[in-house]
Chain A
Amino acid sequence: MRFERREHRSTLLVIATPILAVVAALAIAGVLIALAGAPVFQAYWKILTSAFGSRLSATETLTRASPLILTGLAAAVAFRARLWNIGGEGQFYLGAIAASAASVHLFAGLPSLLQIPLLFAVGAVAGMVLLLVPLSLRLRFSVDEVVTTLLLNFVALLFVSMLIDGVLKDPAAFGWPQSEAVDAAARLPKLLARSRLHIGLGIAVVIAFLIYFVQTRTVFGVQSRAAGLNPSGAVFAGVPLGRTLVIVAMISGGLAGLAGTIEVLGVKGYVTTDLSPGYGYSGIVVAMLANLNPLGVVLAALFTATMFVGADGMSRSMGIPTYIADVTVALSLLSMLVAVFFTQYRIRR
């Protein structure tokens, strides 16, 4: 048995790939649910109804999808240029803490229309800075950025934990380590009344379209793709590799920082060390599920959010550990990798 590269890929195959991958992941996760002694189809139905069965649950799922779109885009943009930014989680937290501190100590009292964009910028810059450190280590010392970005996640979380237990601690929080609540004018407007859903969702979707446009219609889009496909070839063709990677890193880190900013301004209003249930890491899965396509990221984020919100509800009523959502999401990443492989290769005997 050997593999042979396919001459051309049909559009149908490309569209069917993520669907097949998700079905395969759900099937394997179904075995795990069955082993736990629960009826599989009922469990999946419960996941679906818990994620979309009511107005409350549907808005909750969309609220969860918003940061995932942004962290997914952060990963997708970087991976396309083969910049392995696995530090989305750290950049998310740094963006969140920078924006909330800026709102409390710098921009308090400014009107929303001015304050919110300023805070977005602050949060994005914080995320950028955290990614530029590993990038410069790569460019200067040829250090693999996978490990450094992963390690910086721990550093960033400890840094945030230190700040909210120290200088940024809310004195009115009965000793709990959390940051002071942001200015009322900094809170994002709601998309729907009587829900947690805020305009972050709209912002995330607009950004996805913007990135799609940049990647398909601009010189920079081609350059970043070339930097990923074949770095030495790209240099030969006149692509400024270092500069392209720096810009990619700024976009990627900026998006992850923005995700944290939007989460803190949109949902809670203050930072704790459980602000993110792993949005940064899930963003990697979202990006891969979307095959790094920015528009696909929106759908993949929606799927991932559905699994997380749905599994919470299913877990409560059927006694299956909520971790089944993480298992399914991880499995869909692995099966997506295999599925993409088979769109590129066919088996020959």
Chain B
Amino acid sequence: MSALFDILASAGLWAAVLRIATPLILGTIGALLSERAGVLNLGIEGIMTFGAMVGWLTVYNGADLWVGVLAAALGGAMFGLLHSALTVTLGLSQHVSGLGVTLFASSFAYYVFRLMVPVAGTPPTITPFQPLDIPGLSSLPFFGPAFFNQTAPTYLAIGLAIALAYVIARTPVGLAIRMTGENPHAAEAQGVNPMAVRYGAVIAGSALMGVGGAFLTLSAFNSFFPTMVQGRGWICIALVVFASWRPERALLGAILFALFDAFQLRLQTVLNGVVPYQIFLMIPYLLSIVALAVMARRARVPQALMQPYRRGER
């Protein structure tokens, strides 16, 4: 028991929690934004992969780290545009279109990466984001290393989640998004253009997913390798349900999830050899499934989610 307590009391664990949570926060609020407008975006896994690749490649070619983040956002937005064209304009199945976007975005990312970076024994690296030194806070005992020793994108992610919670709940734009996700016909009757809202939400959401992927290559690690996203996108989709489609809960959900993940990583070193490591690696995926099963009935689903909107057609 004391071993477990030691893990929970270490500042390193809590620092890891925020680090692990960052891509999940960004991916989850991105997916949440487009789902609140009524569009499920299963392109997330591929968009995160592409964001991770293009962000890294931009920096590798000499650009500033923030330019890399911007490139990832633009890359994500590009695939968001593709997904909206297929699901909003044409009204195709959001499931199949999203999977198609994932397959395309990830294979395109691998293709571009292989083309630009020849095969090498050790993968090339960049200098990633360094932890920010916040005067006063970073030097606090325990709390400093635990919570105020993160890189800038982590604070950005938390800020964006809070901002999105405000925008959705309190602003006219948020109201238009919610109306479009609940009842696009009523929204149109109120002078909102549901098509435009859905396009905007999917594109902005995909940009967030792209940045979430870029965090992996620009901050958490310093190189890109295929399959590095490892299902994080799918976990984000599960977290949206767990958060009952609310950004503030998505933030908490992602952090809670990261806590479990960071905890199991440390437990793995304690129980090394007793329990096969694969068991620990399964935990995040199983946890997502359990979260879905617990929350799916209780969550408030946007009523028009996955329903294409065609003017004059019911």
Residues of A at the B interface (CB closer than 8 Å) are 2-3, 32, 36, 79, 84, 86, 137, 141-144, 146-148, 150-155, 158-159, 161-162, 165-166, 281, 284-285, 288, 320-321, 323-324, 326-327, 329-331, 333-334, 337-338, 341
Contacts and interface: CB of A to CB of B under 8 A. Distances in A.
Interface string B107-130: 110110011000000000000000
B285 interface: yes
Contacts of B288: 147, 151
Contact of A337 (B86, B231, B282, B289): B86
Contact of B111 (A141, A150, A327): A327
B11 interface: no
Output the residue of B103, B114, B241 with the most chain A CB within 10 A: B103
Interface in B31-71: 42
A161 B276 CA distance: 10
Contact of B279 (A142, A151, A162): A162
Contacts of A326: 103, 106-107, 110-111
27 contacts: A36-B115, A142-B296, A142-B297, A143-B289, A143-B292, A144-B292, A147-B238, A147-B288, A148-B289, A150-B231, A159-B278, A161-B278, A165-B276, A165-B278, A284-B99, A285-B103, A288-B96, A321-B114, A321-B115, A323-B110, A326-B106, A326-B111, A330-B103, A330-B104, A330-B107, A331-B104, A337-B100
Given A151-B285, A334-B104, A141 B297 contact: yes
A143 B296 contact: yes
A334 B107 CA distance: 13
Contacts of B107: 323, 326-327, 329-330
Nearest to A324: B111
Nearest to A342: B90
Contacts of A158: 278, 281-282
Given A321-B110, A333-B100, A162 B278 contact: yes
* Chain B residues touching A, range: 35 or more
B276 A338 contact: no
Closest A-B pairs by Cβ, 6 of them: A326-B107, A321-B114, A330-B103, A162-B278, A330-B104, A323-B111
A140 B297 CA distance: 10
B293 A137 contact: yes
A329 B292 contact: no
Contact of B86 (A153, A288, A338): A338
Contacts of A166: 276
Interface string B230-251: 1100110110010000000000
B97 interface: yes
Contacts of A2: 311
A84 B96 CA distance: 9
A162 B90 CA distance: 44
B286 interface: yes
B95 A146 contact: yes
A3 B313 CA distance: 11
Contacts of B265: none
Contacts of B281: 158
Contacts of A32: 111
B300 interface: no
Contacts of B286: 151, 155
B175 interface: no
Contacts of A150: 231, 234
B308 to A, nearest CB: 11
B81 interface: no
A283 to B, nearest CB: 12
B237 A154 contact: no
A333 B108 CA distance: 14
A281 B103 contact: yes
